[in-house]
């Protein structure tokens, strides 16, 4: 049987950090399961975060008006993307599981990891107009966020000072990962490791080790399937009227983003939904 490959895209500056310990646990556990584990250590590699003309080798299609998305799409089709992008794209192609490991920066990924997303997930390679969300390019792959916070869990409750963590997760999990087709596994969140006793940190690492053992068997998060929408420019990519009508009687919106002015489906971005909560109606 072919060996499975996992990729850990890792962004922390310090080898002694808690993020490094979390990465190491994943590497050990995945290797123990027979995975070939690739790591993109972004700070160590001095990975370029800026999307610029330097990412395209050779002549630009439109030197008068540089459009990053257009130019990198053509460069991808013609094999003219810069070597560092191509190397990362090869890893993505090979991996069936991608773990993004990072400290939460401003409710998001650190800039160097955002740069990885901006530069590696180019049009054509990671998505096209026809291939998005559950029809997306990477629909046979799994991806997840694994991150540490400064804040405590209660601070990210709907009634906590930071507001609902589900809302903070939506842009990355829906707008980036699921947009490219990935089946998104529930995030692994290490709440405030710098402000808890060592025993609590050890317990967090043990919990992560146990989770990684069964990671690939987990049911992914649920998102609104494309079939719920009229995917035409005339239709505005809106929910079909009959779907909207059918949702009127339900207590919750469809997903965190597709809330339809109703209460958010509880923990839609934190755990897989089951039963009648599922937007696709599957059990």
Min dist CB 168 to ligand FAD, Å, is 8
CA distance linking residue 25 with residue 20, whole number of Å:
9
Torsion angle of the four alpha carbons 263, 267, 269, 273, in this order, in degrees rounded to the nearest 10: -100
Residues forming contacts to ligand FAD in the complex (CB under 6 A) are: 12, 14, 17-19, 21, 103-107, 148-151, 193-194, 198, 201-202, 205
Q: Give min distance, CB of 182 to ligand FAD, in A.
A: 23
Our CB check for ligand FAD shows the closer of 124 and 160 to be 160
In the chain, which ranges are continuous DSSP H helix? 18-32, 68-77, 83-94, 111-120, 165-170, 198-213, 241-247
- Residue 151 or 216 having the CB closest to ligand FAD: 151
Nearer to ligand FAD, 72 or 148 (CB): 148
134 near 43, Cβ under 8 Å? no
Backbone φ, ψ for residue 210 (5° rounding): -65, -40
Closest distance of CB 26 from ligand FAD, Å: 13
Which residue, 87 or 194, has its beta carbon nearer to ligand FAD? 194
Closer to ligand FAD at the Cβ: 17 or 33? 17
Residues near 4 by Cβ (< 8 Å), separated by ≥ 6?
A: 33, 34, 35, 36, 96, 97, 216
Task: Provide the minimum distance between the beta carbon of 42 and ligand FAD in the complex, in angstroms, as a whole number.
Answer: 14
Residue nearest to ligand FAD (CB): 150
CB of 239 to ligand FAD, least distance (A): 32
The three-state secondary structure class of 101 is strand
């Amino acid at each position: 049987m072919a060996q499975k490959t996992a990729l850990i895209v890792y962004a922390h500056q310090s080898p002694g950090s808690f993020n490094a310990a979390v990465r190491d646990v994943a590497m050990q556990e995945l290797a123990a399961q027979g995975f070939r584990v690739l790591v993109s250590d972004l700070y160590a590699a001095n990975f370029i975060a800026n999307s610029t003309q330097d990412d395209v080798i050779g002549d630009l299609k439109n030197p008068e008006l540089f459009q990053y998305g257009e130019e990198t799409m053509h460069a991808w089709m013609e094999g003219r993307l810069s070597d560092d992008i191509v190397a990362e794209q090869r890893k993505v192609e090979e991996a069936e599981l991608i773990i993004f490991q990072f400290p939460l920066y401003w409710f998001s990924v650190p800039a160097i990891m955002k740069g990885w997303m901006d530069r590696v997930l180019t049009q054509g390679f990671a998505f096209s107009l026809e291939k998005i969300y559950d029809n997306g390019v990477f629909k046979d792959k799994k991806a997840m966020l694994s991150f540490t916070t400064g804040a405590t869990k209660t601070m990210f409750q709907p009634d906590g000072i930071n507001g609902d963590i589900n809302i903070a997760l939506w842009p990355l999990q829906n707008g980036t990962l699921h947009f490219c087709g990935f089946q998104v596994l529930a995030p692994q969140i290490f709440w405030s490791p710098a402000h808890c006793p060592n025993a609590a940190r050890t317990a967090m690492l043990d919990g992560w080790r146990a989770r990684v053992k069964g990671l690939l068997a987990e049911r992914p998060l649920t998102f609104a399937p494309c079939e719920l929408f009229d995917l035409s420019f005339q239709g505005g990519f809106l929910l079909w009227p009959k779907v909207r009508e059918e949702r009127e009687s339900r207590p919750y919106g469809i997903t965190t983003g597709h809330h339809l002015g109703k209460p958010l489906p509880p923990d839609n971005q934190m755990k897989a939904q089951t039963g009648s909560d599922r937007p696709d109606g599957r059990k």
